[in-house]
Structure 1
Amino acid sequence: MTGILTTTILSFILYFVIAGFFVLKNKKFRMTTLKAVGIVFATLFIIGIIIVYIFMPAITIPTITIANIIIGFVGMVGLYVLTSSQPFTKSSKQFDAITGAIILFAIIAIPGFFVMGIFTLDDTHDSITTEEVDEAKPLDKDATPIVVSPESARNKVQKAMSVVPNTQFYDLGKLQVQKIGEDIVFVAPVEFTGFWRYFRGKETEGYFTISATDVNAQPEFHNSNMRYTNSSYFHHNVTRTVYNAYPDYIQSGEAQIEVDGEGKPWYVQTLYKPIGMTNKPNLEKIHVAMVDPVTGNVKLYRAKEAPRFVDGPISSEMASDENDYFGKYVHGWLNSIFGKKDVKIPNESGTESNVTPIFDENGEMHYFTDMSSPKENIDSALGYTLINARTGELTYFNGDKNNGIMDSKGAREIVNKEFPEKNWTGSMPILYNIDGNPTWVVNVLDPNGLFKHYAYIKAADSDFVVFGDTARSTLDAYRLALAQDPSNVESTEEAALEKRAGTIERVIVTTQDTKQIVQFLLEDDPTIYTVNSGKAPKSIFLQTGDKVELEANMRDNQTAIVETITIDALSQ
């Protein structure tokens, strides 16, 4: 209750000033005035406690100032009524000093906070730690291209709810993707379905986990009783528990479950303090509160200093806000409305608060979002952002080198149009750089949220789509299709060329889009080599038994793109 009492008392500062004015003004009726002051204070204090308890406003300068104005005005009216004072003098019919002061204060303060909030947008934008790079790194052979969509995972877990004791008391809570050991999983607590379920059950039974990388995995229930949860009431509610401990911080998003190495769940809540006299966040100083769901103990950490098992100290809601500040206010508030120079708008295709959590090759979680132009009817992506879920650092992958690539909305629409009779839809599009080609990887789900396919879509060519049942097989098929496409038979800048030599065992020449593509095998080498005749005109005369020397970009799926080739029989 400490936070609630502190907030309520701070909201009465102006009222105490007004009460003192009334006591001094009514010297002849001091006892009557004091009694009125007490009655008004007690009434407003009880109402204030209830309001603060329900809405939990943070202790910030704008919040406390507005609360003082409201309570001061209502308190003044109450004192006028109880002391039979008149808000107007009989002679001038003008407001007396205290009434005029409150109105003037409100006229100045409320618009003032709005104006300061506008000017502070630049400070919030500048508080983002930002790095800009030209292109994403290509996927390596050990990278998992994409995780299972949360809709599919939730559907499976919902069907497994019957294993929970007293299952009629509970529903599934917020899914949170995280890494437990070496496995990337979704974690979802069971939550109370309402007040009477909480009143009877007192505590929840535990949480579910389900693989976020294996579409065939089944959910597993973990028994771990929790008294302090998002769905609990009164002082057992996690949001209220955090507020009571740190009422001077603003909470971002809903608290989520993170599981430590021993299988114990913790609720984590992202917090921040505002900049100056506003409620705008300082994104360099984000904190996280960790709540023990058994004891209710709360610990506060800087986000980057949270325990290692916490993969997402920064909530998806906070990451979504960070994208807004980064994209819209690059040149300030005025530019975001009128000129819109360099403005980028985050798309809303993410799985959590318009962002999609993914893991990199180092096991660190990031939030992915693609950015598009503020102009209407333009579906091309300007680039995309990855926000580190621990540090809040934002990396912007500039799409200028790949002008014309579609955005995430366009990728989803391609999938949606592919299976109209089945009503399958695209979910969780993520942009990857595959062998130098920006590629959208999309989950294909049925109307019940069950996984059906992966779709790999070339971002610069809406007709270039490959579907498959598994992430690895679809990636291999997509890479093979790229190798056979004349427009893609060239190496990426990032890859180093390797030298090979041998004797031709098999060879085939095909014509694609008026260009001839030569594919061949070397003896004792399983790699499929592909060369564009435009680069090596003599390659169309290759035949079995020819000895060759070549330089090629070797890929991990036993294919290679040939850059140069020398044919012994034709080199004379």
Structure 2
Amino acid sequence: MAVFFIIQNKKYRVTTVKAVGLVFATLFILGVITVYILMPPITIPNMTIANLVIGTAGMISLYALTKSKPFTKSTKHFDTITGALILFAIIAIPGFILLGILSLDDAHQSIATKEVEEAKPLDQDATPIVVSPEFARNKVQKAMSVVPNTQFYDLGKLQVQKVNNDIVFVAPVEFTGFWKYFRGKETEGYFTISATDINAQPKFIEGKMKYTNSSYFNHQVSRTIYNAHPNYIQNGEPQIEVDEEGKPWYVQTLYKPIGLTNKPNLQKLHAAVVDPVTGDVKLYKSDQAPEFIEGSISSEMASEENEYFGKYVHGWLNSIFGKKDVKIPNESGTETSVTPLFDENGAMYYFTDMSSPKENIDSALGYTLINARTGKLTYYNGEQNNGIMDSKGAKEIVNKEFPEKKWTGSMPILYNIDGNPTWVVNVLDPNGLFKHYAYIKAADSDFVVFGDTARSTLESYRLALAQDPSNVESTGEASLEKRNGTVERVLVTTQDKNQVVQFLLQDDPIIYTVNSGKAPRAIFLQTGDKVELEANIRDNQTAIVETISIEGLTTTPEQ
């Protein structure tokens, strides 16, 4: 472009050369500043658009500073350089937009997906509930006074992870602004707080960190990663993870785009791990990151993966018209529309439930679990449990339960408890303080059990399931134990027009409960009767009876 203007302006060549030099120097400086601030990844779309912007700005500047005109007096046509630049822009910009749309299906196809009809039943010893991040943040904020020079800092992003077999929230202290960074230079450490014990108190671990999310210039973590790997696209905010020795590291999800687009190939995700003391950056494939890193794939990346999986199942056009098989991820999660949780093997997953794109439909189509290290997505399609409510509906049930107190539902997670899809929700007050757990039967909005602890609420919910006449098989796939003995005490109660029999056996501390809907003759049970039974026995010394035989009253076990 510069050469064209110099050749075109023969009569004013010296002036044109000076103008070219001025424009080049100005655009170069502005370009460097822009790249430093915005940190655009070096990809074909980004570089092409950047050159178009610079070219247009340069062309306009040179026209203004020289005697060149965009039109000739004789033909009124664009001159060569103007026409070429405009033609290139007309082709390139719509071309990249079109390629981006067409590659949505490629991004969907790049997801490693497994589909399952029903979730595995929850083990009777499991208490799969974690403290909500709002509650954890509230408690940690109140402990900020223990941080040296606390006026410099605020609490950073909470990240749930497993440290020495304990599931905890980890949150770094971050600078509150530029001048606090300028004076402090380094942050003081990080907090941890249990993610499974509502009575736990936060712990502050001291340790200077120079490279953080809230630092400036080359000490900012994102910039440090960009300087090391500018050809990768960063996804989400870098999050802190702690190794088994208590040393913190910043972890960021990276990817290279598909073809000539900025869309991710979800089978080729990477994790950049940054030492916050030295600024050293190491790049790993997401599933090959150090073992202490549970979330090498960020919650933001998991949310994006859900979007590609559910919305673009048959491409972009179908997501706009027809919407065949389209599933929309709900936004009830605690971290960028997803909720992290751990399985029985200690692996972390991101949970999200899916609903219909049709408005005013609050039933869940199913839910996804995304492995936080591999990115593999498992979709539980809910075909065996049609008509269950979605996470928004579960939260609304809690919200309507305590309107005068303004308590609200948080962190809804769908579990299969004894064969019944169940929403487990934290109940918080307006200050984010924990008040209750709510167990909500996903197929029945009126079936709700509240409790103060995860264990007691789980057991109360299971007992309510057993006593509910609509539950034919409340224990699902749970293992049954055979027992026999002589009845010592009997209590018959009525619940929802259905009789429930509870009894004790001699020399047996277990409280047995049987629903008369399952065993009609059980209502005639008396002290001294000899019984044989099969029951699901809980570790709180209660049991739900599935079959019972009463000597002299039944000849075969009641079903």
TM-score, normalised with respect to structure 2: 0.95
Q: What secondary structure is seen at the aligned counterpart in 2 of 1:254? A: strand
| Cα deviation, residue 571, structure 1 | 4.5
Distance 1:349 1:564, change over 3 A: same
Cα–Cα, structure 1 residues 513 and 123, in superposed 2: closer, same or farther, change >3 Å?
Answer: same
Q: 2 CA distance for matches of 1:66 and 1:366?
A: 37
From 485, 509, 513, the equivalent of 1:502 is 485
Query: What's the counterpart of residue 250 of structure 1?
Result: 233
Per the alignment, residue 70 of structure 2 pairs with 87
Give the deviation of 1:290 after TM superposition. Answer: 1.0
Contact 1:489–1:530 (CA<8 Å) still a contact in 2?
A: no
CA-CA distance at 1:557 after TM superposition: 4.0
1:171 counterpart = 2:154: yes
Q: Deviations over 1:435-459 (max 9, x none)?
A: 1111111111111111111111111
The residue aligned with 1:551 is 534
1:167-206 to structure 2, matched below 5 A, reads 167-206=150-189
Return closer, same or farther for 1:352/1:571 CA change in 2, 3 Å cut-off. Answer: closer
Query: Contact between 2:398 and 2:427, CA under 8 Å: does it hold in 1?
Result: yes
Matched, 1:108 2:95: no
> What is the 5 A alignment of 1:196-235?
196-235=179-218
The aligned runs of 1:21-100 (5 Å cut-off) are: 21-23=4-6, 25=8, 33-100=16-83
Structure 2 stretches lacking a partner, 5+ long:
none
Deviation at 1:23, TM superposition (A): 4.5
1:515 Cα offset (Å): 3.8
Q: Aligned equivalents of 1:500 and 1:43: distance in 2? A: 88
Give 1:24 shift: 5.0
Listed one character per residue, the Cα deviations across residues 438-493 of structure 1 (whole Å, up to 9, x for unaligned) are 11111111111111111111112222222211111111121122222222252444
Identify if the C-alpha distance between structure 1 residues 491 and 465 changes in structure 2 by more than 3 Å, giving closer, same or farther: closer
Give percent identity, aligned residues only. Answer: 81
CA-to-aligned-CA distance 1:194-231 (integer Å, 9 cap, x gap): 11111111111111111111111111111111111111
Aligned equivalent of 1:311: 294
In the alignment, residue 123 of structure 2 is paired with which amino acid? Answer: D
Seen in structure 2, the aligned counterparts of structure 1 residues 226 and 308 have a Cα distance that, compared at 3 Å, is same
- Out of 93, 98, 119, the position equivalent to 2:102 is 119
3-state SS of paired residue (2:279)? coil
Q: 2: CA distance between counterparts of 1:481 and 1:550?
A: 20
C-alpha distance after superposition, 1:95-140 (max 9, x if no partner): 0122111111111111111111111111111111111112222222
Distance change >3 Å, CA 262–CA 496, structure 1 → 2: closer
Structure 2 contact 299–338 (Cα < 8 Å) conserved: yes
TM-aligned CA deviation for residue 246 of structure 1: 0.9
User: 1:281: Cα distance to partner?
Assistant: 0.8
Per-residue deviation, residues 512-557 of structure 1 (Å, max 9, x unmatched): 4444433333323333333343443333332222222233344444
AA paired with 2:28? F
Q: Offset at 1:323?
A: 0.9
Structure-1 separation of matches of 2:392 and 2:451: 21
Mapped pair 1:147 → 2:147: no
1:481 aligned residue: 464
Q: Which amino acid counterpart does residue 317 of structure 1 have in structure 2?
A: E
Hey, what's the Cα distance between the residues in 2 that align with 1:79 and 1:537? Answer: 94
Distance 1:455 1:61 in 2: 50
8 A Cα contact 1:257 1:265, kept in partner: yes
Residue 401 of structure 2 corresponds to residue 402 of structure 1: no
C-alpha distance in 1 between matches for 2:209 and 2:124: 41
* Residues 514 and 472 of structure 1, relative CA distance in 2, 3 Å threshold: closer
**Structure richer in helix, relative to its length:** 1
C-alpha distance after superposition, 1:42-84 (max 9, x if no partner) = 1101000111111111111111111111111111222333442
SS at match of 2:111: coil
| Matched residue SS, 2:68 | coil
1:340 maps to a residue whose letter is: K
1:156 aligns with 2:162: no
CA distance in 1, matches of 2:59, 2:102: 33
Q: Which position in structure 2 is the counterpart of 1:8? A: none
1:327-354: CA deviation from partner (whole Å, max 9, x where unpaired): 1111111111121121111111111111
**Tell me, what secondary structure is at the counterpart of 1:570?**
coil
- CA deviation after TM superposition for structure 1 residue 235, in Å: 0.9
Distance 1:341 1:378 in 2: 16
2-structure distance, mates of 1:414, 1:571: 43
* 1:420 and 2:403 aligned: yes
Amino acid at match of 1:288: A
Check the 8 A contact 1:489/1:531 in 2, yes or no: no
Tell me the distance in 2 between the aligned counterparts of 1:570 and 1:352: 57
Distance 2:358 2:546 in 1: 40
State the alpha-carbon separation in 2 of the partners of residues 185 and 59 from structure 1.
37
Change in Cα spacing, 1:118 to 1:389, as seen in structure 2 (3 Å) is same
Query: What's the TM-score, normalizing by structure 1?
Result: 0.93
> Per the alignment, do residues 485 and 125 of structure 1 end up closer, same or farther by CA in structure 2, a change over 3 Å counting?
same
Q: State the secondary structure of the residue aligned to 2:60.
A: helix
Q: Which structure 2 residues correspond to residues 328-339 of structure 1 after superposition, within 5 A?
A: 328-339=311-322
Whole-angstrom CA distance in 2 between matches of 1:342 and 1:527: 49
Map 1:291-302 → 2, pairs under 5 A: 291-302=274-285
Q: Please give the residue correspondences for 1:231-242 in structure 2 after superposition, counting only pairs within 5 Å.
A: 231-242=214-225
- How far, CA to CA, are the matches of 1:241 and 1:110 in structure 2? 30
CA distance in 1, matches of 2:552, 2:291: 61
Q: Distance in 2 between matches of 1:144 and 1:32?
A: 78
Residue 457 of structure 1 aligns with an amino acid whose one-letter code is I
Contact 1:324 1:346 in 2 (8 A): yes
Counterpart position of 1:11: none
Alignment of 1:472 with 2:455, yes or no, is yes
Q: Is 1:451 paired with 2:434?
A: yes
Partner residue in 2 for 1:533: 516
Aligned CA-pair RMSD: 1.9
1:85 is paired with a residue of what secondary structure? coil
| Residues in 2 aligned to 1:564 and 1:161: alpha-carbon distance in whole angstroms | 56
Structure 1 letter corresponding to 2:463:
L
The answer to whether residue 308 in structure 2 is matched with residue 325 in structure 1 is: yes
174-183 or 518-527, which moves further after superposition?
518-527
Partner of 1:356: 339
2: CA distance, partners of 1:93 / 1:86? 10
The amino acid across from 1:424 in the alignment is W
Match of 1:442 among 425, 431, 435: 425
Please tell me the residue identity of whatever aligns with 1:355. V
SS in 2 for 1:486: coil
Q: Which of 114-123 and 460-469 deviates more?
A: 460-469
Mapped to 1, the partners of 2:218 and 2:66 lie a distance apart of: 39
Q: Deviations over 1:284-328 (max 9, x none)?
A: 111111111111111111111111111111111111111111111
Q: Is the 8 A contact 1:490 1:561 kept in 2?
A: no
Q: Tell me, yes or no, if the aligned pair for 1:489 and 1:532 is still in contact at 8 Å.
A: no
Q: Tell me, yes or no, if the aligned pair for 2:5 and 2:68 is still in contact at 8 Å.
A: no
Number of the residue aligned with 1:14: none
2:489/2:505 contact within 8 Å kept: yes
Residues 219 and 513 of structure 1, relative CA distance in 2, 3 Å threshold: closer
Paired with 2:458 and 2:497, the residues of 1 have a C-alpha distance of 27
Distance in 2 (CA, whole Å) between partners of 1:141 and 1:530 is 17
Inter-CA distance 385–423: structure 2 relative to 1 (3 Å threshold): same
Residues 472 and 518 in structure 2, CA contact (< 8 A), matched pair in contact too = no
1:3 is matched with: none
